[in-house]
């Protein structure tokens, strides 16, 4: 059996397109969470005291959230993204990379759905932390 080549969390290129237009700050997006597929299960017991069995059920994909450091570019794109909320067709693509930042061919995935949120970060004069721009996509059931 071949030895596994593990992929670190930081070895990924994250991109966003909405209605075919790429949105970013000149770099890849910073983080991706959510977007998992799960089924709404239904259980039953044969008779009143029989063993419980799972019947399965329809699957649904959770919302996917991506973040990137806020920048002049993201602030400039915000108004356009806000106008697309609820109607823009969004695709988030994750392409896994090796330890030299080379693309691992065929090892990525995409989720698609409707643009649900586009949010500028909070501002606070008492913190030097990077502001994170956030986008949420309400995902379709099947990957792109």
* 54 vs 41: CA distance, rounded Å: 7
Residue 41 in domain: yes
> Which residues are CB-neighbours of 91 under 8 A, at least 6 positions away?
16, 17, 18, 110, 111, 112, 144
* CATH code of the domain containing 23: 2.30.110
* 22 vs 45: CA distance, rounded Å: 51
E strands, the chain, where?
Answer: 12-18, 21-22, 31-34, 37-39, 43-45, 52-54, 59-61, 64-69, 89-96, 109-119, 132-139
Residue 6 in domain: no
- Our count of domains for the chain comes to 1
pLDDT tens sequence across 24-71 = 988 899 999 999 999 988 889 888 788 899 999 999 999 999 999 999
Domain that holds residue 122: 12-139
pTM (predicted TM-score)? 0.88
Strand ranges across the sheet with 109-119:
21-22, 12-18, 89-96, 109-119, 132-139, 64-69, 31-34
Residue 3 in domain: no
Report the DSSP beta bridge partners of residue 44: 53
Residue 99 in domain: yes
Residue 2 in domain: no
pLDDT tens sequence across 83-138 = 999 999 999 999 999 999 999 999 999 999 999 999 999 988 888 888 999 999 99
Phi and psi angles of residue 79, each rounded to the nearest 5 degrees, phi first: -60, -40
Residue 46 in domain: yes
């Amino acid at each position: 059996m071949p030895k596994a080549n593990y992929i670190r969390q930081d070895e990924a290129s994250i991109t966003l397109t909405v209605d075919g237009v790429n949105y970013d700050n000149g770099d890849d997006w910073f983080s991706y969470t959510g977007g998992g597929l799960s089924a709404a299960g239904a259980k039953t017991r044969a008779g009143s005291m029989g063993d419980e069995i799972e019947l399965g059920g329809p699957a649904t994909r959770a919302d996917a959230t991506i973040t990137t450091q806020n920048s002049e570019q993201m602030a400039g794109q915000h108004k356009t993204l806000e106008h697309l909320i609820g109607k823009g067709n969004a695709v988030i693509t994750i392409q896994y990379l090796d330890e030299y930042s080379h693309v691992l061919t065929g090892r990525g995935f995409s989720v698609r759905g409707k643009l649900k949120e586009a949010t500028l970060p909070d501002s606070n004069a008492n913190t030097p932390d990077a502001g994170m721009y956030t986008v949420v996509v309400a995902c379709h059931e099947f990957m792109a």
